Amino acid sequence: MKSLDKQRIKLVKGKKEYFKGIGKIKFEGRKSDNPFSFKWYNEKQKVGGKSMKDHFRFAIAYWHTFCGTGGDPFGAPTKKFPWDENTNAIERAKDKMDAAFEFITKIGAPYYCFHDVDMVDEGATLAETERRLEIMTDYALEKQKKSGVKLLWGTANLFSHPRYMNGAATNPDFNVVAYAGGQVKNALDATIKLGGENYVFWGGREGYLSLLNTNMKKEIDNFARFLHAAKDYARSQGFKGTFFIEPKPCEPSKHQYDYDAATVIAFLREYDLMNDFKLNLEFNHATLAGHTMAHEMQVAANAGLLGSVDANRGDYQNGWDTDQFPNDLYELTECMLVFLQAGGLKGGGINFDAKTRRNSTDLDDIFHAHIGGMDVFARALLIANDVLKESKYVELMKTRYTSFSRGNGAKFAKGKLGLEDLSRIATKNGEPEVRSGKQEMFENIINQYI
Ligand code: XUL
Ligand code: CO
């Protein structure tokens, strides 16, 4: 299917069908050789008492899937989407939304996510942008009602426009902070109107390029004030969902304030935002921060803040955010072990913040990418569930810590031993035995169940 081939866009009941020749993607199992079918993702299949659909709550990212035309710093866009042709901004936005809901319905994802500017181009003024969003959210409401597709989260793009080059909520100029506030208000209104279950803040420009011209303390204080204002406004409008902060260490800023999960958790604690905010973690952001995604998920889970996931992968030979579709089964299995043991995500879902490659120019590549992504998550979930239920993994992990369940270890765990007690016990017990961490044995268990 060629994206450039306008002839293939059929008119169905006066409406265009963009992904012609592709019907609803069904589960056909691993023996099927139909590339337009799921081999592992069977939305109804129960894993640990919960359907795959409910475990993952898959969402499609509006910005990559329907807006990402393949341009990069070295070259022009390579993808000419048939929904991107009308010269009128609203008509073009409606065409894009028709294509979006057609795709989301055919792939069978229950959710989508968007930035304000993905849905419709920004207008010349804040008021014009608001008017455009009102029209488009009316249109989206209709589409949601007809399809049953829901909004997992909305967000505002506070990083692309030149006005945000020195930051949005952390800009040294109050007028820019106020403009960002206006934009977030519009994005919150849109999210609330569409029944959005969550709202995301990703601060690509909330950081600095040089510390020499940056009052970091002031900027971070302002960031917290901004988030409080946004949260108070949304609550006053009846928003009951969760706010997510999405950590990323750098790119586009040299240093971003929401560096990683641990940094964001400390920030939320310091500024009294723990009750309303959780984390939206992304694979390629984790690896840019020098962590694995499993590490980031565990850090968030420890604090009860594992909210949502942006699914993708980095290229492990490159040092930037490549946002490729996930396909690494071992990496995913490690993540699903954390996911299952944490009891899943708190309010969020798995959003494919991933883009097909610049040279994947056919419309059907979008299907292959998402089918692969959903399948690899499903397969990893099944494996992780088997590891937890059938193998000795849980028991072996527990065994490493049994010294804290009895005697002095148990007393220590309850906070009943001071440093002098530890010294006395160590003197009495002498040099501790060398005890293996058995890492290779643990690794083999994963491989056994793959
Ligand atoms: C950028 C990124 C964003 C956020 C939403 O790296 O991940 O798309 O997910 O603004
Ligand atoms: Co993201």
pLDDT tens digits along 417-433? 999 999 999 999 999 99
Contacts of residues 138-142 at CB distance under 8 Å and 24 or more positions apart, as own/partner, are 139/93, 139/94, 139/97, 140/97, 140/194, 141/193, 141/194
How much is the average pLDDT of 34-39?
98
pLDDT tens digits along 81-132? 999 999 999 999 999 999 999 999 999 999 999 999 999 999 999 999 999 9
Sole residue written with tokens 């020499």: 212
Give the residue numbers marked as catalytic: 115, 118
Give the type of residue at 91.
E
pLDDT of 11 > 80? The answer is no
Beta bridge partners of 46: 51
Chain-centroid distance, C-alpha 420: 46
Lowest-pLDDT choice from 2-11, 350-359, 405-414:
2-11
CA–CA dist 66, 83 (Å, integer): 9
User: Can you read off the two tokens belonging to residue 156?
Assistant: 């505002």
pLDDT at 1: 45
pLDDT at 6: 47
pLDDT at 8: 44
* Cα–ligand 2 centroid distance for 311 (angstroms): 8
pLDDT of 5 > 50? The answer is no
pLDDT of 61 > 70? The answer is yes
Closest CA to 246 of 272, 216, 285: 285
Q: Supply the mean pLDDT for the chain.
A: 96
pLDDT at 316: 82
CA–CA dist 37, 371 (Å, integer): 7
* Cα–ligand 2 centroid distance for 382 (angstroms): 25
CA–CA dist 229, 224 (Å, integer): 9
Lowest-pLDDT choice from 12-21, 54-63, 331-340, 403-412:
12-21
pLDDT at 15: 74
pLDDT of 170 > 70? The answer is yes
**Ranges assigned E (strand) in 195-332:** 198-201, 207-208, 242-245, 255-256, 277-282, 306-310
pLDDT tens digits along 189-205? 999 999 999 999 999 99
Give the type of residue at 305.
L
Which residue has the least CA distance to atom 4 on ligand 1?
202
Return the best residue to mutate from 248, 259, 355 for the ligand 1 pocket (most ligand atoms within 8 A of CB). 248
Closest CA to 341 of 287, 294, 308: 294
Ligand 1: lining residues by beta carbon, under 6 Å: 115, 155, 200, 202, 246, 248, 282, 310, 321, 353
pLDDT of 166 > 90? The answer is yes
pLDDT at 7: 40
Atom of ligand 1 nearest to the CA of 159: 10
